[in-house]
Amino acid sequence: MSSIKDRQRAAARARLEKEMAERAAAAKKRRQRQAIIGSALAVVVIAGAAVWIVAALGSDDDKGGTKAAAPPPPGTVACNWIPDDGSGGGKVKDTGGLPPNNVPNTGKSTLTMDTNLGAITAAVDLSKSPCTGAAFTYLASKKFWDNSKCHRLTTEGIKVLQCGDPMASGKGYRDTDGQGGPNFKYPEENLPTNAKPTYPKGTIAMAKTQAPSTTGSQFFIVYADTDLPADYTVLGTITKGLDIVENVAKAGSDDANAKGDGHPKREVTIKTLTMAAAQ
C-alpha cells in the first residue's frame, strides 16, 4: 500500500514540477515581450521627439536647402511613371525615356488604330484618365504598337479582344504573346463605379497584372457587356470599328488558353496607332 502511495506522490510531484517549469517559461516569455514592447515604445518616443525638434527648428526648405517639388501647373496633373527593366519577368520594349511628369488633365483625344481589317477609333477623356492618355500619346509617338497583333480573344464569360503587346508581331503567335510592355508602368485610374456591367460594350480599358500600379501598354476592347473586378483603368469608348471586333469575335479563338480563350482565329494587326487632340 505504501509503495502505491509513494508512486502517487512521485507522480503528483512530477506533475507539479512540470507545471512550475511551464509557468516559469511563460513568465520569461512575458518579460521578453515586455522588454521588446518597451524598446519599441522608446523608439517611437524618440522618433516623435525628433519630429517635434525638426518642426520647431524648421526644415531645410525654410533655410534655403533642397526645396519640395513644385505643384503641377494648372490644367495638369503629376503622373507616377515607374521604371520597368523586365526583371519581374515581362518582356520590355525600351522607348528610350519616359512620358512627361506633368500632363494635361483637361480636353479630349482621339485614339485611332489602323488595322488590317479597318480603322478602329476611340474617344479619350483626359479629365478622367490623364496619365493613361499621356502614356498612349507618348508610346504612339514612338510607333510603339506599329505592326503588333491583338493576341487574345475571349468568348466565354468575358467578351474582350486584347491588344497592345509590342512583341506580338510577325507571322503566327507565340507562347510569350501577352507578356510584352514598355519600360515603365503606372498606377490605375478612372476605375469603374457602375455596378453591372462593370465594363459595358464599347469600353476600351487597360490590362494589368493582379498587383496594383502595373498598367502598361496592353489594353482590351469590350465587344459585349462584361463583368470584371473594377481594377482596370477605363481609357475611353469605341466610337468607330466596334463591328470589326464583333466580327473577329464571331470567328472565335483557337482555345490556346482554355475553351473560348486564345488567339483570335481572324488575325488583327495594328498597322499604326495614333493619338490626336479631338476636333
Q: For every one of its 279 residues, what pLDDT tens digit does the chain have, with 9 covering 90 and above? A: 445 545 544 554 454 445 445 554 554 454 444 443 333 333 333 333 333 322 333 333 334 444 556 787 888 999 999 999 988 888 999 999 999 999 999 999 999 999 999 999 999 999 999 999 999 999 999 999 999 999 999 999 999 999 999 998 766 667 667 889 999 999 999 999 988 899 999 999 999 988 999 999 999 999 999 999 999 999 999 999 999 999 999 999 999 999 999 999 999 999 999 999 987
Backbone angles phi, psi at 73, to 5 degrees: -60, 155
**Helix intervals (H) in the chain:** 2-57, 130-141, 242-251
pLDDT at residue number 87: 87
pLDDT at residue number 16: 46
pLDDT at residue number 86: 87
pLDDT at residue number 178: 82
pLDDT at residue number 4: 55
**In DSSP terms, which residues pair with 125 in a beta bridge?**
108
CATH of 76-277, one of 3.40.640.10, 2.40.100.10, 2.40.160.40, 3.40.50.720: 2.40.100.10
User: If we measure between CA atoms, which residue out of 166, 164, 155, 180 comes closest to residue 264?
Assistant: 155
This prediction's pTM: 0.74
Give dist(CA 259, CA 275) in Å, integer.
35
**In DSSP terms, which residues pair with 269 in a beta bridge?**
149
pLDDT at residue number 179: 87
**In DSSP terms, which residues pair with 277 in a beta bridge?**
109
Cell numbers at 219, concatenated: 489594353
